[in-house]
Structure 1
């Protein structure tokens, strides 16, 4: 094998063998002419011609190759590459085309692709453009034919015109593909965004409950003991009402335990985490409803976290109780808050002596 110059393996049915391996050991050999025609070859390993640095003629005609993509970088002396009478559509590997162009500059390589029905499509455009740029490499190039996507057979005698038309068609196809892709991505993002928005409070509640290492098997029951009788949710403008009236009437007179954010939140902990923990550790959540409350991000956060606590940790039992500290029209309320009002889970602050007695008794009943 080391001194062999010509190897004729024509008509030996080596297709299956060459699809799995080569016909020689690794290392450089001095073969100059190799004939592998009429062997039913349908594919070739990338390394099948490794070490063929002396090869001048390679005959792969009369096979069933649909592509030609082995490593030809070793074939620095190659002069003839016969790929006629195959089923080659195009060369799929850019590296193969680049290596052939490089070798051709040194050896004036000629390629025979006659009696192959090439493919005129967007995937083959790079190959056809390469053929046009290297027309001197091909035998009888004017007789080559290609098949378009609609099944039309085109004679490549006017290769430049064929490439030009295909480029315009593929450009439109690319724009259409990009447009459809962008539209699909946009629809998916809108759907995902819509779902995230719809379930935003559920997701946030689950996140903060997970962070506080709340275990789902701790289900609520009537015997559960809470750290606080009520979590008081209020805006900064109602601080005096909470300090001067809520604490004296409920904590000092009724001996109830209230969770007041200015007093009971853990320093250094995130506000959102403090809120979620405070609500979870309280039997009820009392919201002091004012216009300032409705405009406050954290007040509405507390309201919605209490809703999620009712649904997902208290077996659907409502823990929210609304105290309207000022007159607010129904149209000014969020829909979910208006629903609670319609179910009478609220009380109005009377601001008179007799009404105050009833008011604080109602609050006590709600949170005990």
Structure 2
């Protein structure tokens, strides 16, 4: 019984091997009956048959195992109008495969491994078909990577520049907008300023600023410009800032951590720095109420510290922790405003 089962299994394997072998082995094409039409599909062909009559106009070689089309694949078949090589395994087409086929109108390549050819050359003239332009491996050409990389680098550089210079860009925007609305800076060549100083400060430091106002205005006769008191109602804040800084001989910046957290305070500092660069005069007075860690300082304050090396030291004043030194502080501030 066991020998019978073994024999049956051996016969089954043999039959299966014969079937697979016959399916994968190329079979001869039928003889050419119609000298204009030839069909040799489903024959497991691995290349275009040779020796076909030159009178053929249509050749169908679909559902085979053709992997490439060489320069001589259709040699002598100069009357071909249509070629169907669909459902094969074509992954390479020679650059001169169709050069001599001047009458060729239709080339069917669907279901091969030339995936890009299916969309890139569909419904286009055969003369526009250039196999060397195909990207069968789906690799992005080097020049495209160069363009993408260059664009990415430029985008990063521009983004960094915009982030680092955002306050200055905002400043330029507000200046241009103010000028388009008819604003003109004061002519202060003869020191005809409206204010001795514009005071830039955080609302959290209002109490100290109020004491400063008492000291400078009521006790010493200086005229200061403050947001809440002197800004024109109805005007945009940015326009008020530009006009007030331009109308003031100096800009006093009361530096605290709250100041550094305020967007408008940093705008005001940037406006004042722009005026410093423009007029090349001592126009900014920094008053540090707190000891500010260097990592918290904005780029504008770091720039001003560099500038301070080349200008008078009286533009940089620290509020003393010792009450006995407060009198000297006020005298230095008054001296800076004169």
**TM-score bracket relative to the smaller structure:** 0.5 to 0.7
Pick the aligned partner of 2:107 from 118, 141, 159. 159
Structure 2: gaps (5+ residues): 1-56, 58-78, 84-92, 117-133
Other-structure match for 1:323: 287
CA distance in 1 between counterparts of 2:191 and 2:111 reads 79
Q: How many residues align?
A: 225
Q: Give a deviation string over 1:257-316, Cα, whole Å, max 9, x none.
A: 11111111222323233222222221111111112112222222222221122123x2x3
- Match of 2:107, SS state, is helix
Aligned in 2, Cα 1:307/1:172: closer, same or farther, shift over 3 Å?
farther
Contact 1:229–1:284 under 8 Å retained in 2: yes
Aligned in 2, Cα 1:327/1:311: closer, same or farther, shift over 3 Å?
same
Contact 1:201–1:308 under 8 Å retained in 2: no
Other-structure match for 2:196: 229
Shift of 1:184: 4.5
Shift of 1:330: 3.7
Other-structure match for 2:269: 303
Q: Give a deviation string over 1:37-70, Cα, whole Å, max 9, x none.
A: xxxxxxxxxxxxxxxxxxxxxxxxxxxxxxxxxx
Other-structure match for 2:332: 362
- Match of 2:97, SS state, is strand
Q: Give a deviation string over 1:229-252, Cα, whole Å, max 9, x none.
A: 111111111101112x11111111
Matches within 5 A, 1:1-368: 140-141=80-81, 152-155=95-98, 159-161=107-109, 164=112, 166-168=114-116, 169-170=134-135, 182-213=148-179, 222-243=189-210, 245-312=211-278, 314=279, 316-341=280-305, 343=308, 344=313, 345-350=315-320, 354-368=324-338
Contact 1:324–1:348 under 8 Å retained in 2: yes
Shift of 1:193: 2.3
